[in-house]
Structure 1
Amino acid sequence: MKKLFATALFCTVFASAASAVTINFEDFDEGDVLGIGTDLGGGILADVTAIGGIAQAVVFDTASGTVSAGNDPDLTSPFTNAEDSSDRRGFGNALIVQENATGGPDDVVGGSLIFNFDALWSFASLFLLDAEVGTSATLFNGSDEVASFTLDRSNESETGSNPNNNEFTLLGFAGAVGDTLRIDFAGSGALGEFELSAVPLPAAFSLLLAGLGGLVLVRRRQTA
């Protein structure tokens, strides 16, 4: 019974704490188009769709000197936190709604990115790059909206065409659980990365309870 308890405890801890994954598109190449059944890494699968432009979700390389950065200097790394000027960081690949069929990655003015995941996930944070007032990020569980953010003057990160002053917006989802993520850009912009974790499995909790019950029974017999 003690072994059962230990196994249950391990499964519960593993499911709730050991499966945090950062989706940063680094496993893809500049210009890749993400679509149905995309493996985002860490065992996470999603149908990725785009609205606007030519309706493609395209990988954008934010490094200076790339085709992507040449098309849109607003999305060149590094970026400064729109709410904390001391927080400055680089991003590698990002995801955009593609504007044109030719010329390499270039984000459309307005558009949406939609991720339909194959399971429920617990969302921690999300980075938007060069995102204007009115841009929103919404998480759904089925048809129910569980978390939503809309950028205003306090956290918008649109900075014009100066590549030395680009910004990002950090949104905290605080563990909200959902299976569909939608980002609606009010103007140009990109998705930098997001972090999520596995939702603890009910089976693990059931196993934990069974182990606890067995351990109590063993102790009662020992003291009888």
Structure 2
Amino acid sequence: MSQTTPEPTEAPGSADPAAPIRIVLVDDQELLRTGFRMVLNSQPDMAVVGEAGDGQVALDLLTRLQADVVLMDVRMPRLDGVAATREIVVRGERPRVLMLTTFDLDEYAFTALKAGASGFLLKDVPPPDLLAAIRAVHSGEAVVAPSTTRRLLDKFAPMLPSESEPAPPELTVLTDREHEVLLLVAQGMSNAEIAGKLFLSEATVKTHVGRILMKLGLRDRVQAVVLAYETGLVKARGR
């Protein structure tokens, strides 16, 4: 397994809206990194600015360059992807982490998302889906493999609390509408689906989601879902 790390290449600053999405590849398989690099660098709005063969090398690399999105393997030597993701999140708002793994297992998905990853995909994801996921994560959305999403929703199927139940103390900063939107986000609904259910415009829902994240000090929708479960806003079936 290769542990070599190419010299980082700086990309244009993120302040320029026309600048490409700066991506760091983190995987202990050099051949896989090569394949991803070829796909990503073929896109006019993406640029691979660095690579690492394990989580520790990735953390060191990220202190020397700016990145927008990290494609992170879960299982690696020295420091695994979950631990590296946790450290990246502690350091600041950027970069966003998109986890990639060969193993479609619920425990990996939940652990990675709880650590602060903004997405979780399988390594055999079709290139168009991978590119769409990177763009979504870069824009602040959350991405989870459809097969994983289905099982997670089956396993942690939310049940609406009764109207008489007070809001968890952590969520009292939210308005009634924001509380309602958060509940639907926690059920896995997209902005478009929430807009349809609440008879709002998609832009209005996006504004509500942004305010929810700001008020609760969250990075993205994934953290909002985790918080909703941890505070008891939604409950797993069978609890």
Q: Where on the TM-score scale, by shorter chain, does this alignment land: which range?
A: under 0.3
Q: Which has the higher contact order (CA 8 A, sep 6+)?
A: 1
**Structure with bigger gyration radius:** 1
TM-score (norm 2): 0.25
Point out the structure with the larger helix share.
2
TM-score (norm 1): 0.26
Point out the structure with the larger strand share.
1
